[in-house]
Amino acid sequence: MIYAKFMPGRKLDFASRNKRELQAACEYGYKVSVISSDDSKTFFEKYPNYTLIDDHQSTHVTYEMNKVVRIVKILWGYLVVIRNLRKVSADVMSCHDIDSLFMAWAAYLFKVKRPAFIYDSHEFEIGRNISRNRLQRWWVLHLERFLIKRCLFSIMVNDAIADEVQRIHRLQTRPVVVRSTPSRWIIDEQKCFEKRKELLAKMKSPQQTLLMYHGGVSRGRGIETLLEVVKRSENTCLLILGNGENKLMERLEQQSVSLGISDRVLFHPAVAMECLWQYVGAADIGMVTIPAVTKSYYYMLPNKFFENIQAETPVICSDFPAISPIVKKYNIGLTCDPTDVETICACISKLQIDKELYMTLKNNMKKAKEDLCWEKEKQVLFNAFNYFIG
């Protein structure tokens, strides 16, 4: 059985969920192939039974490009991918978003032997933080409805999204829920402490409470609000760990200067997954305060949330339907309105003052990390393989 993962234009070094799913498929006994324009071979050298199949030379598209040029390059890239996909032989093909699912379906439309498709959506597709006009929204909604019913099964990242997708598309079978939990982390507290001192020294803030946002730095993630929070919160500093477009990074850095907090804010590029635990474990509070600028964010249950759990770092999170119940169930943090600066400041102050509460939250992380890890979550994926594929 050949299980192919189709990930056009994604850097596998940072696609941690994809890597975990590929490993799970391999453990299950499938022969695994990867279809991607990523030219990094590092991952595959560790797993010789994996095969990297280049789909095309990556067509780099940015928002700074002329709109017409950007559209033409995207469409040309689609046609190249569809043409090359027709040469791929697979029994099952997993596609991680609606674009890749559409290209895979189009490539095999007129072929007698076609793979069974799995729609492995990493977020709430019809509510993503992407600028779409009314016609584009209509197209994505109906394209997803058409394709999802032609898949062997679909995967969503949390129950809230699975329920909403089933309702919107009137599906008889609810999507399988596989959360984006990392593998269980073993934390070296001394190394985390040393990393914390190193980071605070760069901000010249040796006695401060270290807040941390990590993940993609993009519009609508609430980072501007966090800068306002640092301005109004005493004895706090902020680590922003992640990559973003140059213009946005420059604007955020300028905002920190304008607020007079540039010495309490550190912008740090993304780090390899192998050492991420040191940075997350170095923080005093993990900030997962993304606002509901889109429905996808409203239904969020991101990697960074589970990574804070594995690092045993108490969190302050948006009071949203997927993430809030977990915070409350395990009592591992506080929830708030992510658009209300004063409320977020109050949460930080509460954790700074009430040391007993803070230690309770931190200790509760030990139970949460045992339950919310990939070692347990992948069993859901195994059950889906067994039920739908055999």
Question: In this predicted model, what pLDDT tens digit does every residue of 150-159 receive, in sequence order?
Answer: 999 999 999 9
- Which homologous superfamily is 189-371 in? Glycogen Phosphorylase B; (3.40.50.2000)
More confident residue, 49 or 67: 67
- Helix, strand, or coil (residue 177): strand
How confident is the model at residue 64, as a pLDDT? 61
Q: In Å, how far from its chain's centre is CA 366?
A: 22
Q: Which residues lie closer than 8 Å to 133 by C-beta, 6 or more apart?
A: none
Taking the C-alpha atoms of residue 158 and residue 121, their distance in angstroms, rounded to an integer, is 10
pLDDT, tens digit, 9 for 90 and up, residues 261-314:
999 999 999 998 899 999 999 999 999 999 999 999 999 999 999 999 999 999
- Helix, strand, or coil (residue 357): helix
As beta bridge partners, residue 214 has: 241
Average pLDDT, rounded, for the chain: 89
| HSE-up of residue 225 (Cα within 13 Å, Cβ side) | 21
pLDDT, tens digit, 9 for 90 and up, residues 57-88:
445 555 566 778 877 877 887 787 888 888 88
List the chain domain ranges.
2-181+374-389, 189-371
Neighbour tally for 282: CB within 10 Å:
22
In which residue are the tokens 């914390």 written? 196
Tell me, yes or no, if the two domains 2-181+374-389 and 189-371 fold the same way. Answer: yes
Sign of CA dihedral 272, 277, 280, 282: negative
In which residue are the tokens 């850095």 written? 253
Taking the C-alpha atoms of residue 62 and residue 246, their distance in angstroms, rounded to an integer, is 11
CATH topology of domain 2-181+374-389: Rossmann fold (3.40.50)
